[in-house]
Chains A and B, each alone.
Chain A
Amino acid sequence: MHAMSGRTLTQLAALLALGAVLLALGLAIGSMGWSPWTEGGDTMRLILWDIRAPRSIGAWLAGALLALAGAIAQGLFRNPLADPYLLGCSAGASLGVAALLFVMGVSPAAAALALRVGMTGAAFAGAVGAVLLTLVLARGVTQSLRLLLAGVVVGVVLGSGSALLTLMNPDILRAMQAFMLGSTGYVGWSAVQVMVVALAVCLLTALGCSRALDALTLGEDTARSLGQRLTVIRLLLIAALSLATGAAVAQCGLIAFVGLVAPHLVRSWGPTTHGALLLLSPLTGGALLLAADIAARWVIAPQELPVGIITALLGGSYLLWLMHRRKAHFSGLGGGR
């Protein structure tokens, strides 16, 4: 209830410690299961530094970005079912990747161009393009409901575009499936750098708007009566939401449920302001995705499960449990709270 309560500080410290423990585990578990870094020589050091370290840090960062985007979306749209993919990000990223894979099969020249753009670039461009399209269709950011509906329309239309491209060239089906399920297997140091910058920018932006989000919980009229410039705040938050989601999706594909579940997990620990929620959700999401990534590597080693399957299973189960536990909270869902 003050700037940062003792409870929030305790949670912050616990989540940071959990992240550190998971990172150590992430470094110790490889394609052959448990293989800590105390064993082996130069090869092991290379595996640790070039593969496990960026992958583990990248998984934490992607989870943090998605959770931050989820917390922003739920606060901005005052809807606890809002997730990072709400404004068409996921459908746009999928279409970007599908278009890239499709073009690669058209001609060698097109393939060369597509390679320069890369899957990451295509996914990011698709995600940002979809959000821009949503904003155009919603005629700006002044009406939350119009934005939500436009996001749904963009998601459906772009999703059908991806399906059409996949149908026209079934060879791209497997690569598309890998993207849709999400994976942290290809995250390198450059991806880590991109996600660190995106997380810092988005977190600062969101924290700067956190009091406006608190005011918005009492309704738009009240928030405006308290001197909040909602149009500017919405624009800033939608930019942060899109950048965070686009950066995570471009590096790791469509990872389900982390963005939806992490803010709920934080809220289940007790009443919280958006300042605390926006700080704790990324730490929770990072820990969730890194834990899921470790499980994905370890459960059927040396084979690997797509991490998106684990997050969907865990996230879906958790939400069901939460729904059962907090019937009163979920019975009122229909739009705004």
Chain B
Amino acid sequence: MNASALRIELKSLSLGHRPVLHPLTLAPAPRAWTAIVGPNGAGKSTLLRAIAGLLPFDGTLTMDNQDWTAWPAKERARRVAWLGQNEAASEDLTAYDVVMLGRLPHQAWLAPASAADHEAVEHAMRQTQSWDWRERALGSLSGGERQRVLLARALAVRSGVLLMDEPLAHLDPPHQSDWARIVRERVEAGAAVVSVLHELNVAMQADRLVVMDEGRIVHEGAPHDEATHEALQRVFHHRLLILQVQGRWVALNAS
């Protein structure tokens, strides 16, 4: 896995005629987990889609100091994996077929899956504990089970950058912890992981927090920094209690 340096310098991004993101710069560090947090409508998912190259915007997107948008689509897909919010659930594909789609960027046109592809798929499915459902149709799985298969699909790409938009949706607390453990493993292997999270307690385990509000990055820092806590309090209108419990920072609802 190559350590990749992705950087976005955005002047503006509008959806329709509505400006959604204002000038900002973000360069998720390799070998680090960056969590983007903020209130609803802050522009977190839009920023992540822009970083993934899925939304046009006024500005530049570079990988290792080169114009990322000019790279061939398959090469980009090998370097940056994407897990979207509410990915559709196919009725027709088995869980295994879905995870194998993560290997598409590595496969030549119409070439059958290689032994390496099968190995990557099995490894990713075992990591997310979804291997037992490999023969079942994705549409027949529960929300949490499906999310683990979709996470395995993103992991199977084995990319240097992993972008995930609300990956914890439908996951119960033990599987949220499993997700955080998997992220940590990918980071230790050299990946840059960027996730949009609503679960602040999980986000507080990240290496860096990017706090957003009204289409702007209002703060970027370590989860244990006092300044980060202040920024979180500001954007959530002082309705949080940020405490240290057994050596870990947690954010509770203050009301």
Chain A interface (Cβ < 8 Å from any Cβ of B): 1-3, 78, 207-208, 211, 214-215, 217-219, 221-222, 224-229, 267, 270-274, 277, 329, 336-337
Q: Are A218 and B90 in contact (CB under 8 A)?
A: yes
Say whether chain A's binding surface is mostly helix, strand, loop, or mixed: loop
Q: How far is the CA of A172 from the CA of B82 in the complex (A)?
A: 57
* Interface of B (DSSP majority class): mixed
Are A1 and B101 interface neighbours, CB within 8 A?
A: no
In the bound assembly, the distance between CA atoms of A74 and B207 in angstroms comes to 44
Q: How many B residues have CB within 8 A of the partner chain?
A: 42
CB < 8 Å: which of A78, A221, A226, A267 contacts B104?
A226
**B134 within 8 Å of A (CB atoms):** yes
Which residue of B94, B97, B104, B153 contacts A227 across the interface (Cβ within 8 Å)? B104
Would you mind naming 18 contact pairs between A and B with Cβ atoms under 8 Å apart? A1-B97, A1-B100, A1-B135, A2-B113, A211-B104, A214-B90, A214-B93, A217-B90, A217-B93, A222-B84, A222-B101, A227-B76, A227-B105, A267-B91, A267-B92, A271-B135, A329-B139, A337-B89
B197 within 8 A of partner (CB): no
Instruction: Tell whether, in the assembled complex, residue A2 and residue B104 are in contact, meaning their CB atoms are under 8 Å apart.
Output: no
State whether B112 touches A3 (Cβ < 8 A).
yes
Which residues of chain B are near A218, meaning CB under 8 Å? Answer: 84, 87-88, 90, 98, 101, 150, 153
CB-defined contacts of B135 to chain A, threshold 8 Å:
1, 271
B89 to chain A, nearest CB (A): 7
Q: What separation, in Å, do the CA atoms of A308 and B90 have in the docked complex?
A: 31
Q: Are A221 and B49 in contact (CB under 8 A)?
A: yes
A225 B92 Cβ-Cβ under 8 A: no
Please tell me if the beta carbons of A214 and B97 are within 8 angstroms of each other in the complex: yes
Interchain CA distance A283-B35 in the complex, whole Å? 50
Chain B residues with CB under 8 A of A78: 88
The residues of B that contact A273 with a CB separation of less than 8 Å are 92-93, 97
Contacts of B78 in A (CB 8 A): 227
- B interface, CB within 8 angstroms of A: 49, 52, 54, 73-78, 80-82, 84, 87-94, 96-98, 100-102, 104-105, 107, 109-110, 112-113, 134-137, 139, 150, 153, 157
In the complex, what residues of B have CB within 8 A of residue A271's CB? Answer: 91-94, 97, 135-137
Once bound together, how far apart are the Cα atoms of A210 and B85, in whole Å?
24
- Contact yes or no, B94 A221, CB < 8 A: no
Give which listed residue, B87, B105, B107, B110, contacts A208 with CB less than 8 A: B110
Given known A1-B134, A208-B109, A225-B77, contact A329–B97 (CB-CB < 8 A): no
Known: A219-B87, A226-B102, A274-B92. 7 other contacts (CB 8 A): A1-B97, A214-B93, A215-B104, A221-B49, A226-B104, A227-B73, A271-B136
Residues from chain B with a CB closer than 8 A to the CB of A1 are 94, 96-97, 100, 134-135
Q: Identify which of A3, A78, A218, A224 gathers the most chain B CB atoms within 10 Å of its CB.
A: A218
Q: How far is the CA of A319 from the CA of B107 in the complex (A)?
A: 37
Residue of A nearest to B80 (CB): A225
Chain B residues positioned under 8 Å from A208 (CB to CB): 109-110
Bound complex: CA A208 to CA B111 (Å): 11
Closest residue of A by beta carbon distance from B159: A225
Smallest CB-CB A-B distances: 8 pairs: A227-B77, A225-B82, A217-B90, A227-B74, A3-B112, A271-B137, A227-B73, A227-B105
Which residues of the partner chain B approach A3 to less than 8 Å between Cβ atoms? 112-113
CA separation between A2 and B97, bound complex, in Å?
8
Cα distance A34–B62 in the bound complex, in angstroms: 72
For residue B96, which residues in chain A have a CB less than 8 angstroms away from its CB?
1
B74:A336 contact, CB within 8 angstroms: no
